[in-house]
Amino acid sequence: MNTAGSQPPFGPAMHALIAELYPLPRSITGDGVRQTLRALQSVAPLTIHEVPTGTPVFDWTVPNEWNVRQAHVTDARTGRRVVDFADHALHLVGYSTPVRQRMTLADLRPHLHTLPEQPDRIPYRTSYYKPTWGFCLTHRALESLSADTEYDVVIDATLAPGHLTYGELLIPGDTANEILFSAHTCHPQLANDNLSGVVVAAHLARHLAAGPRGRHSFRFVWAPGTIGAITWLARNEPATANIRHGLILSNLGDGRTFTYKRSRRGDAPVDRAVTEILRATGRPHTVLDFSPYGYDERQYCSPGFNLPVGLLSNSQYGTFPEYHTSADDLSLVKPDALEASFRLIQDVVDRLDTSFSRDPKGELQATPEASASATAHSPRYFNLLPKCEPQLGRRGLFSMVGGRTSPKRFELALLWVLNQSDGGPTLAEIATRSALPIDVLTDAARALEAAGLLRRID
Ligand code: ZN
């Protein structure tokens, strides 16, 4: 099939849809996600799935649903609202528990998050699995708060059994072999991360659904990061056998240059297709090897699935100055950049669909590393929960506050050891691949072993 050719520009329509979705209070659950997915239904005929709270999904459980009616902090003396969720959805820490309390600045201060090095920006913070509450504000606003008054804190929210909501669309092709596109839908009032990916996916879905039938089927998943991808994988495990190629779509609107992160396999057809097409553009771009930190490639590329799924972005997560701050706004994403991302993905789809392989197993063989010989004196481990990441936070192994730019080195080591311990690489080989010190990886392996997540095999 040829999906390119002359088409009207989609960039302005995509940017307008991002602007419509931008203020909705998304999180990993709740009405903001539902409203977002319903708006996408005006673009592509996706199905909205509701998964009840308490549903077990691999090592995780679908959490309570979170919805906020209002949340603010008011100076009790002047009546001035010093922080208000109605002004910006980033002002409230995601999954904050309900609060109604008068308190001193000293008592309030541990609940306030700022970016001292970027004093005019509001940070993005979440605490999905550790019950707490907090507000995010600019550092300048924090500095203007007086210790001579008290503050009335109101978080009028519900955190109760409900559902996790995700969207899905399968566009049938000539065969059951699939190309998967996945975008995370959980970020509130941030434009590049990841409304750009959400909206490019929706327009791509509309375009593919209206075009000639492909040899592959095309599957789109719009789901909250981590828990949503894990939920989709848990409910669709048999269908994953059909996935021949896949792309996580994120940060596709800033236009700074493309970044492609290879799948865990490293040499999957999607890895070759994207890198060749990027090279053919003649423009600067970055190709990164797989690492087990980032977006939902962490789940699709967990060793128990090892799907050929790469990550396509403009700026890479965690590295651009606006990342996870209020500066990731409508001015950061540009119609031309969205259009360029859309067209590049079209080229990738054309390439993959044209080079269709009739051999269903041809692309699914284990990578050579799985049978790599052991290096003497370095242990090898086996991940005992290889399907998706285990929930490290509740075992005290991972920070429970989300949204920060990068994890600690020990946390990265945990992810590397889990992702690579399929009986193939030794700890020494994981050290080379991850560029992490062997002693940190050894500590991580011991902690995972003690938690029952890892077994030493030699
Ligand atoms: Zn993010």
pLDDT of res. 376: 56
Is the pLDDT reported for residue 244 higher than 80?
Answer: yes
- CA–centroid distance, 292 to ligand 1, in Å, is 15
Q: Is the pLDDT of residue 361 over 80?
A: no
Q: Which tens digit of pLDDT belongs to each residue from 186-211?
A: 999 999 999 999 999 999 999 999 99
Q: Is 188 exposed, middle or buried (0-12, 13-18, 19+ CB in 10 A)?
A: buried
Whole-number pLDDT of residue 48: 98
Q: Kindly tell me if the per-residue pLDDT of 367 is higher than 60.
A: no
Distance 315 CA to ligand 1 centre (A): 12
Cα of 324 vs centre of ligand 1, distance in Å, is 6
Q: Rounded CA gap, 260 and 252, in Å?
A: 11
Report the half-sphere exposure of 47 (CA within 13 A, side-chain side). Answer: 8
Q: Pick from 359, 419, 358, 366: which is nearest to 388 by CA?
A: 419
Fold of 11-63+163-354: Aminopeptidase (3.40.630)
Q: How far is the CA of 376 from the centre of ligand 1 (A)?
A: 40
What integer is the mean pLDDT of 252-265? 97
Q: Work out the angle at residue 414's Cα, subtended by the Cα atoms of residues 372 and 224, and round it to the nearest 5 degrees.
A: 105
- The predicted pLDDT at position 372 comes to 42
CA dist 26 and 47 (Å) reads 18
> What count of residues does the chain have?
458
Decide yes or no: CATH 1.20.1260.10 for domain 368-456: no
Give the CATH architecture of domain 65-159: 3-Layer(bba) Sandwich (3.50)
pLDDT at 303: 97
Query: Once rounded to an integer, what is the mean pLDDT over residues 162-169?
Result: 98
CA 142 to ligand 1 centroid distance, Å = 24
The residues whose Cβ lies within 5 A of ligand 1, an ion, are 193
For helices 197-210 and 11-21, give the axis angle rounded to 10 degrees.
130
| Ligand 1 mean position, distance from CA 319 (Å) | 11
- Going from N- to C-terminal start, the domains of the chain cover 11-63+163-354, 65-159, 368-456
Nearest to 179 by CA among 310, 338, 275, 306: 310
Predicted local confidence at residue 362, as pLDDT? 40
Q: What is the average per-residue pLDDT within 118-140?
A: 97
CB-based burial, 117-153: b 16+ in 10 Å, e otherwise: ebeebbbbbbbbbeeebbbbbbbebbeebeeeebbeb
pLDDT at position 406 is 76
Centre of ligand 1 from the C-alpha of residue 193, in Å:
5
- The reported pLDDT for the residue numbered 408 is 87
Which residue from 183, 293, 189, 174 is spatially nearest to 244, judged by alpha carbons? 174
Centre of ligand 1 to C-alpha 401, Å, is 13
Distance between CA 237 and CA 258 in Å, rounded?
31
Q: What is the pLDDT of residue 9?
A: 83
For residue 18, report the distance from its CA to the centre of ligand 1, in Å.
Answer: 16
Do 236 and 299 contact (CB within 8 A), yes or no?
no
Cα(89) to ligand 1 centroid in Å equals 14
436 C-alpha vs ligand 1 centroid, how far in Å? 23
Would you state the pLDDT for residue 370? 41
pLDDT, tens digit, 9 for 90 and up, residues 393-429: 999 999 888 888 778 899 999 999 999 999 999 999 9
Residue 423 DSSP symbol: S
Q: What does pTM read for this prediction?
A: 0.93
Q: How far is the CA of 107 from the centre of ligand 1 (A)?
A: 29
Q: How far is the CA of 369 from the centre of ligand 1 (A)?
A: 30
Ligand 1 centre to CA of 286 (Å) is: 19
Tell me how far the alpha carbon of residue 57 lies from the centroid of ligand 1, in angstroms: 22
**Å from CA of 407 to ligand 1 middle:** 13
Q: What is the Å distance from ligand 1's center to 59 Cα?
A: 22
- Please confirm whether the linkage preceding 194 is cis (ω < 30° from 0): yes
| Per-residue pLDDT at 74 exceeds 50 | yes
Tell how far the Cα of 360 is from the centroid of ligand 1, in angstroms. Answer: 34
Same CATH fold assignment for domains 65-159 and 368-456: no
Query: What's the 226 CA to ligand 1 centre distance in angstroms?
Result: 11
Look at residue 357 and tell me whether its pLDDT is greater than 80.
no
State residue 5's pLDDT score: 52
Q: Which tokens go with 142?
A: 């924090």
Distance (angstroms) between ligand 1 centre and the Cα of 90 equals 12
Average pLDDT score, the chain: 94
Share above pLDDT 90 across residues of the chain, in percent, rounded to a whole number: 90
294 Cα–ligand 1 center, Å: 9
Residue 374, pLDDT score? 40
Ligand 1 mean position, distance from CA 256 (Å) = 17
> What pLDDT score does 169 carry?
98
Instruction: Find the 350 Cα to ligand 1 centroid distance in Å.
Output: 29
Tokens of 301: 């590329």
CA distances from 51 to 167, 169, 194 (A): 11, 16, 22
Rounded Cα distance, 334 and 250, in Å: 14
pLDDT (average), residues 99-126: 98
Q: Measured in angstroms, how far is the CA atom of residue 403 from the centroid of ligand 1?
A: 7
CA 188 – ligand 1 centroid, Å: 10
Over residues 334-346, mean pLDDT: 98
Distance 235 CA to ligand 1 centre (A): 24
Q: 456 in helix, strand or coil?
A: strand
CA of 333 to the centre of ligand 1 (A): 15
Q: Is the pLDDT of residue 34 over 70?
A: yes
Extract the tokens encoding 220: 């789109």
Distance 97 CA to ligand 1 centre (A): 21
- Using a pLDDT cut of 70, give the percent of the chain over it: 94
343 vs 339: CA distance, rounded Å: 6
pLDDT at 1: 52
Element (H, E) at 210: helix 197-210
Ligand 1 midpoint to CA 114 (Å): 17
The overall longest dimension of the chain from CA atoms, in Å, is 73
